[in-house]
Amino acid sequence: MTVHRLRPRREPVDRPRPALNAVPSADALPADRADAKDVPFAVTRISPEARRAAARVFASGWVTTGPETQRFENEFAGYVGAEHAVGVSSCAAALELALRALRLPPGGAVLIPAVTFCGAAQAVLHAGLRPVLVDVDPRTAIPTAATVARAARACGCPRAMMVLHYAGAPAPVAELAQAARLPLTHVVEDAAHALGTSVGDRRVGSLSRATCFSFYATKNLPIGEGGMVTTDDAVLAGLVRRGRLHGMSADAWARDLPGGSWRYTVDEAGLKANMTDVQAAVGRAQLGHLDEWQRRRHTLAARYDAALGQVPGLAPLEPATAGRHARHLYVVRVLPEHGTDRDELISRLAECGIGTSVHFIPLHHMPYFRRTALIPPGGLPGADALFPQLLSLPLYPDLTEQAVDRVCEELTRLGSVAKRTSSAPSAAPVKHGADQAGPPRPDSGPRHSGPRHPDLRQSDLRHSDARHPAPATRRPTGLRTLVIGAGEAGQALARDLAHTPQFGLDPVGFLDDDEAKRTARVIGDLPVLGGLDDTGPVVSAHRVEAVVVAIPGLAADRFRRVTRAAEAAGTCVRYLPSFIAALRRDVVGSDMRAMDVHALIGRAEMHVVSPEAGATVAGRRVLVTGAGGSIGSELCRQVRAFGPSRLFLLDHDESNLHQLELGLYGDSLHVDDVVISDIRDRSRIDQIFRELRPDVVFHAAAHKHLPLLELHPCEAVKTNVRGTENLVRAAAATGTSRFVLISTDKAADPVSVLGATKRLAELIVQQAQLDAPPGTVFSAVRFGNVLGSRGSLLSVLAEQVGSGAQVTVTHPDATRFFMTVEEAVGLVLEAGRMARGGEVLVLDMGRPVRIVDLVREYARAVHVPDVDIRFTGLRPGEKLNETLFAEEERLAHTSHARILAATPVTASAAPIGLLPALYDASERNDTVEVRRVLADLLPGFPAFPSADQRHAGLADPYPDGF
């Protein structure tokens, strides 16, 4: 709870006043005292029965965990409808113990509301896990399915989720778990406010794997301190019992009782967080009054509802789902219509003798959690908008109706006074924009520039926290972009991007080494966040998703340092044409149009890779095959940014390797890490693996041009199938821990040679997993068509549209799945991190896009409204519509919200046994036999292409790439 500084009125010394924001006993505030007009924020009632129970325990001589605690646990479990309850020292301890009992991997991501008590986030960190902040709906103060899904995407692999029933209001637990792609077994409910809450007709306490309650002095069941974990899982209850006493065996608390034993064991880590018998005795007695107190809370809340419904600008929080509210807090939002802001209202009420509080300061407003928690790209606009409006009013069973009326009367009066004051003419007009005089305020931070929360109202944005003011206009889908260079080029670029949302980039600030620019702090409408050496920290602190360099003539080594720092922080660097040339044309943003992929692929570009992905390659020996290709080279750039101990670049094309080496290092002196080899050469591959001993292998080498492989199936088999088997065998023999194959969506129920050979490569990888030693993971990823790769649709379109030639499209109804290079490489890195073995992982790319629609959208983007399209007809091996999963595959969700897994319905090694016949036919270059064997291996694959289409369309440019 956050207690704001108050300014109470001066009183005579002989008339002591109760502390407005402290927790006095009910005895200190007699209800019948006529002159007691002050209204404290919270008052604790300890019933006479509770006092007698505590005295009884003191008299027994046993005051720590004991029989009284066991009785309280049993009675409390019965009250909330749970099988088990375990008493602990506090709700924060309950949360930590419950998370420990889930047996999550160290450092695992846990989704947690951004608006919650700091102790909840500390519990996540103390459990060895990482909090991932989830934005809230300002109308409810509770996360939505959309904000949960966004946070899940940001972390890539949430291991668990903490759901808070804020103020005692029911939260949609199952809906939020589904949005996070988590089972209820990985949900922990923070019910510190929610004793007596129901979601639908089910009481909070047995909805998820574990529910954690608080008995703090101001809670609905006040003890002073204490907490409880309830669960229907006997194993989890046992783990919590041991964990609350240093990990000691469950009966260790009884070792000093008559008949107890000094023998105990410790199997795991724990903490000192047990409940005492004194707390339990008080809790048992208080529990007998709880229903009566709850009825009183509901009566008072209804009185608030009726009175405040007539006060403009005070809006009670709305329900997030159906159910019963525990009424722990009565929270209102102070909207601009009230005429005064929240903090001023708190001070004015205190001067009137009325105590209030705020629940809570958003976690990302606190320096410690900004460093330790993951904040989703785009920020937390809902929490930022809500926080300056939050106000908790007094609500406790000893509060009188007269006190509620007095609070409401003062709120009404103060709002009216503020309106009269604000309507008076001001002495001078306020200047805005460029006309505003004076330097920026010293405490002004960077402007908030995240996408608008889907549930925000306009007033929510206008009155967000002053430390995070929202600009006048925001785009919901732009990547948060850092501009390197605040000179003329950078300013022109930022202006163009800010005024043209379709570029898909949303500038959030500049970096510049010029001391004068850094001293100015703000240039145009954007802050200067530091110098070029601050790239990494600024990217992390401001959740940057893209970096563009806008310094003409920036030295190559300096450019590379900026690039490496940006990529190491998990973002991508956009490569642009010469800014000098752009400025001479007076058009900067138009050169960015190719980056606006939203309209082209029919969905927002996804930032797939999580910061945790770097741990898979950091300090490891990493080998990338096909390193000189479009995907391979981008993969090398991003892998290198995560700091592998060695990065080996393997390709059979020495020119591509040399170019990649220059791009990565700026010279060609790293010859020890450059490997020229053909993956078809088994003895050479074996030698390479024996010498290099790679820990992680990303296999991107392949033949992938669909029409050409229809004419040359033998070559496809030699590279895509036998080459993959050579690599897999060598990896297994030399102890490679992770092997990721890059496949294609054409491998799902293949009808082309490309798809068939890549499907066999997938089967080889899956077979390798069955034979792999413990700790070795073989997996595959399937790509759609990658925009921006060599020979891709976008590059062909640019060439055809730019030259004024006809654009060739196979069929007016042909559809494909499209993804960006960044999404593709992010998927590979995430697969390397999250794969468990034998899966084929696929990016959830939404609905397929009609190729003709993409062509027209691209033409509009480059100002060619009447593009000339010629339909060539489907060629051999082409499908009208691609699929991501085969009919015999089972689709499964993964820990990443946008990555799916395909596993075979029935495992079979039979196709692998027929591979020698396929290899033999390919070595003889027997095209007919190769197709026949492929048809035997893969049912549905055509043994013979249509004769009248065998050479159709090969003269036309064709985009094939993944």
**Active site residues per annotation:** 746
How would you label 820-844 residue by residue, b for 16+ Cβ within 10 Å and e otherwise? bbbbbbbbbbbbbbbbebbbbbbbe
How many other C-beta atoms lie within 10 A of the C-beta of residue 858? 23
Helix (H, G, I), strand (E, B) or coil at 670: coil
Give the integer Cα–Cα distance in Å for 376 and 363.
13
* Residues with Cβ within 8 Å of residue 435, at least 6 apart in sequence: none
Burial of 433 (0-12, 13-18, 19+ CB in 10 A): exposed
Retrieve residue 346's tokens. Answer: 């708190």
Give the integer Cα–Cα distance in Å for 815 and 437.
56
What are the DSSP E strand ranges found in 394-434? Answer: none
* Residues with Cβ within 8 Å of residue 586, at least 6 apart in sequence: none
Q: Are 701 and 728 in contact (CB under 8 A)?
A: no
Q: How far is CA 46 from CA 72, 214, 297, 876, in A?
A: 16, 16, 16, 82
Give the integer Cα–Cα distance in Å for 239 and 88.
13
How many other C-beta atoms lie within 10 A of the C-beta of residue 473? 9
Is the backbone peptide bond immediately before 72 cis, with ω within 30 degrees of 0? no
Of 831, 771, 817, which Cα lies nearest the Cα of 617?
A: 831
How many other C-beta atoms lie within 10 A of the C-beta of residue 646? 15
Of 356, 344, 469, which Cα lies nearest the Cα of 406?
A: 356
The DSSP secondary structure of 195-219, one letter per residue, reads: TT-EETTEETTSSSSEEEEE-BTTS
Q: Are 280 and 86 in contact (CB under 8 A)?
A: no
Q: Which helix (H) or strand (E) holds 509?
A: strand 505-511
Q: Are 417 and 349 in contact (CB under 8 A)?
A: no
User: β-strands 187-191, 158-164: how paired?
Assistant: parallel
